[in-house]
Amino acid sequence: MDKEQKVAYEIIRQRIVNEIDKLESLGKDASASTLKKWRRYGAAFSWDPTVYPELLDKPTASDKELLKLLRGTEQRFMKKWQAVEGIPLHHIIANRTGGDLGLRLPVDVWEEVKARVFDATGARPGNSQANLNAASQFDERSHLGRYGAKGTVFDPELGLGEAPDPTQSPILHGAGTKEFGTRLGKDPVILQSTPAEISKALIPEVTKQQEIYKAVSESPTTLAQRQVFTQAGLGAAFDPSTPIEQMEGIKARAAALGLPEQFASSWQVKPKFVGGNAVLNALPFLGLGAAVVTAGQQAMAGQRKAAAATLAEGVAGEVPIVGDIVQSEAVAGGTFADVQRRTQEGIRAKQLQQRAAQARQRGGKLKFGLGGVKITLPEFGLSELMGLN
């Protein structure tokens, strides 16, 4: 921050502290919700005030507007990073790390503490892209160990994917993750210590969170889900370097391809991988939607043999599960749009999954066409899932 920004920061910091102290003095009569908001959004501001340019330009805004700007900035970022409607966003390092520490220390002292933390860990807490980005999206089952919000693909009533089991799959907010050094912001000894001493106490609280984030990000469960987007050519949806301005287009494209439903369906405690691809329990294939998209593009470009090979490979990767063989033969078939539409409809309809399970017990064969090529494969519920039966 430059000199003028530091002056504005100090004005805002003192105002936030005054609001916190005022509410705390009220004891039980204070609004716990309002106190929590001032602390949460105030701490985020102290970690990285540069993402609040509008606030730094108006340090004397009314109390109501001040809180609105603090809260609105974070919520706006949380919403814009979503590639799937309703998916939770998780800060790599919680903004409440250290509690009120950043708010209680003078700007120059706090700036040195942050510099030492950054140098030691590489972490940059706050609401910037360094701490909140496309890779911060996690299924609620990996986030809090439960299904997600109603009205989304994570709704427990839809039951897409497996039920969460925090004892078998790592989650971001497991036991012992409610507080990371919040006591430091109330410790009179720490508040009077040197930047070196303060950062020494703070760094372990940061590294613990980095370890948890890494474990969940690299878990087979998370990798299997994100593979849905990668196979559809939308790997940028979970790339930490993806600009926030691109996320809206990615989200729209993903919805058009039916990826949100596939993403939710692919959550498994212990996913299986065949040929490098994750295999769903609820569906006998993963990535077929992406294979259909690729094959359809090839077919429309006149590359019919390549389209047949792509689609056959997309399905064949799952054949070992049912112990059968995929065959292909060149005959007149339907259009790419027809197959893509049926694929999306099948994945969206949970009742079709139930019918598919019954179909797998019946046996038989399924044939469907794409760009002049007809694919013959074992009947394991694909016709139901694609809305063909």
What is the tens place of the pLDDT at every residue in 93-150? Answer: 999 999 999 999 999 999 999 999 999 999 999 999 999 999 999 999 999 999 999 9
Virtual torsion, Cα 134, 138, 144, 150, nearest 10 deg: 110
Q: Is residue 348 part of a domain?
A: yes
Assigned domain for 330 exists: yes
Supply the pLDDT for residue 295.
59
Residue 376 falls inside a structural domain: yes
Inter-residue contact 97 to 202 (CB < 8 Å): yes
Beta bridge partners of 376: 327, 367
Counted domains in the chain:
1
Whether residue 232 lies inside any domain: the answer is: no
CA distance 98 to 40: 11
Q: What confidence category does residue 332 fall into, taking pLDDT thresholds of 50, 70 and 90?
A: very low
Retrieve residue 202's tokens: 């703070």
Domain-located, residue 307: yes
CA dist., res. 155 & res. 202, Å (int): 37
* Inter-helix orientation angle 32-47/63-80, to 10°: 70
pLDDT tens column, 208-265? 999 999 999 999 999 999 999 999 999 999 999 999 999 999 999 999 999 999 999 9
Print burial letters for 95-119: b (CB count within 10 Å at least 16), e (below 16): bbbbbbbbbbbebebbbbbbebbee
pLDDT of residue 77: 87
Domain that holds residue 311: 283-389
| Strands 373-378 vs 272-274: parallel, antiparallel or unpaired | unpaired
The answer to the question of residue 96 being in a domain is: no
Q: In terms of pTM, does the model score above 0.75? A: no
- Asked whether residue 323 is assigned to any structural domain, the reply reads yes
Residue 354 located in a structural domain:
yes
**Contact (Cβ atoms closer than 8 angstroms) between residue 222 and residue 269:** no
Residue type, position 363, single letter = G
pLDDT at 378 over 80: no
- pLDDT one-digit tens code per residue, 10-58: 999 999 999 999 999 988 777 889 999 999 999 999 999 999 999 999 9
CB neighbour list of residue 239: distance below 8 Å, 6 or more residues apart:
134, 135
pLDDT the model gives residue 98: 96
The Cα 254–Cα 252 span in angstroms is 5
Give the lowest-confidence range in 151-160, 216-225, 273-282, 316-325.
Answer: 316-325
Tokens of 3: 């000199």
58-105 pLDDT per residue, tens: 999 999 999 999 999 888 888 899 999 999 999 999 999 999 999 999
Which conformational region is residue 99 in: left (phi greater than 0), alpha (psi within -120 to 50 degrees), or beta? left
